[in-house]
Structure 1
């Protein structure tokens, strides 16, 4: 017990507020509101269908990141539906948005699928770890923190957010 408590205390250090899925210290720019199923295309400066072939998975991922940061989880899932089904980033954000919309079990299932595709997906590990913190399972959350570090994620938003969640009990909505 003392070791766990000491570990938790050692984790409580100040951190920068990073945006989900990024090591950027600034949040994503505000989302341009489009109709359901559409995303803002910076090149054409118009709203286009999320399934438009001109959009790359990276374009879609950035839009999902912006929507998740804004708390627009349902809209993020619409955009996620346009991404390749087994893309580990898609699975990670399906887990995140499902969990934030109240489906803990569904979120955990998506995290497991993301990690099956890419065991080094430190963001999926962080979000899974935060879900474990919400469930009171600190030992398993610490295991995810160790795995993040083992996969080269030290110093990333994934590590910082999970370390902070373990130390404070407060998880992130982005």
Structure 2
């Protein structure tokens, strides 16, 4: 599988109107990362740290924990929580699988997940930003610029997704926030 061909396909124009995900702002730390042992999730109802597979947790609670863990530098814990989600391989799940794998050093695997997320939802600006940042890490600046241009074309120039990728392109450094 040629990574360049896959990435170019995701940059092709698609007919779409949405500006992307509402989840592009950095998560606020909660007890999940300040109190719980790695891999556990804070359950607001019980005021306790619980296993991500705990049936009392809903997918939105799990997803918030995934984001928080991924941003806090705990990619393996984020993957454990993602595995406990019951919504299937949605584009938000695929985006964060990509992010967690990339942050764990498995860039090619992360890129495959970003590509799958964008196949489902070409307007997933966060997946485009994370993919672009992975491309910056790989030294593929032209392909990263294509993702930034796609974010702009989809109405996302005023988003964190655009700003973060643009900053990575200008500095050569990627960012989690």
What TM-score does the superposition give when structure 2 sets the normalisation length?
Answer: 0.78
Runs of 4+ in 1 over 6 A off after TM superposition: none
1:34 to partner: Cα distance: 3.3
Structure 1 residue 35 displacement after superposition: 4.9
Does residue 28 (structure 1) correspond to residue 21 (structure 2)? The answer is no
Cα distance in structure 1, aligned partners of 2:127 and 2:60: 17
Q: Which residue of 1 aligns with 2:129?
A: 126
How many angstroms apart in 2 are the aligned matches of 1:52 and 1:32? Answer: 20
Taking only aligned residues, the RMSD between alpha carbons, in angstroms, comes to: 1.8
Structure 1: gaps (5+ residues): 1-20
The more displaced of 61-70 and 160-169 is 61-70
CA distance in 2, matches of 1:131, 1:37: 25
Change (3 A) 1:37 1:71: closer
| Paired residue secondary structure (2:149) | helix
Give the equivalent residue in structure 2 for 1:108: 111
Q: TM-score if structure 1 supplies the norm length?
A: 0.79
Between the aligned partners of 1:29 and 1:129, the Cα distance in structure 2 is: 25
What CA deviation, in whole Å up to 9, does each residue of 1:59-101 have, x standing for no partner? 1111111111210111111001112331211111111111111
Other-structure match for 1:11: none
